[in-house]
Amino acid sequence: MKFRRTASAMLLLSCDLSLALLHCININPLPWPHGILKGLAPQNKPELQKVMEKRKRDQVLKAQKEEQEAHKKRSDLEIELMKRRETLEQLELGQHKNEEEQENTPEFVKMKSNLRRTKQEVDEQERAT
């Protein structure tokens, strides 16, 4: 038991010394125990700089990924599957656009198109007879 008490006391003493040293050199440590035990100091960078660095990192990773995919040879089957997937995606986008347009059109426009369609059907029936 005495060994544990002395070890924990020594740990607290070393933490206090670390905090005192960090305070003397004007570095704000991360919340205990992360900053002290890992020896990390926070990055005091402006938000814009952080965002720009993240964006640059993402662009580099994306370029590396594209480069790896370009080097990888694709079989005829893969190419055909990719083409089919693209066409299906385009068809789905077209269907979604049509549905949105129909949902967003005012009621009177829908009724007018229905009336026009009914009139055309009646005219065609009259011509046929």
pLDDT tens-digit series, residues 104-115: 878 888 888 888
> Are the C-beta atoms of residues 58 and 65 closer than 8 Å to each other?
no
| Residue 119 domain-assigned (yes or no) | yes
129 and 79 in one domain?
yes
| Residue 58 domain-assigned (yes or no) | no
CA dist., res. 79 & res. 8, Å (int): 64
The token duo for 90 is 């385009």
| Residue 50 domain-assigned (yes or no) | no
**pLDDT tens profile 51-69:** 999 999 999 999 999 888 8
Domain of 93 in residue numbering reads as: 75-129
Rg (CA), the chain: 34
Cα 127 to chain centroid distance, Å, stands at: 59
Number of domains within the chain:
2
**Which residues are CB-contacts of 18 (< 8 A; sequence separation ≥ 6)?**
29, 36
pTM summary value: 0.31
| Residue 17 domain-assigned (yes or no) | yes
| Residue 118 domain-assigned (yes or no) | yes
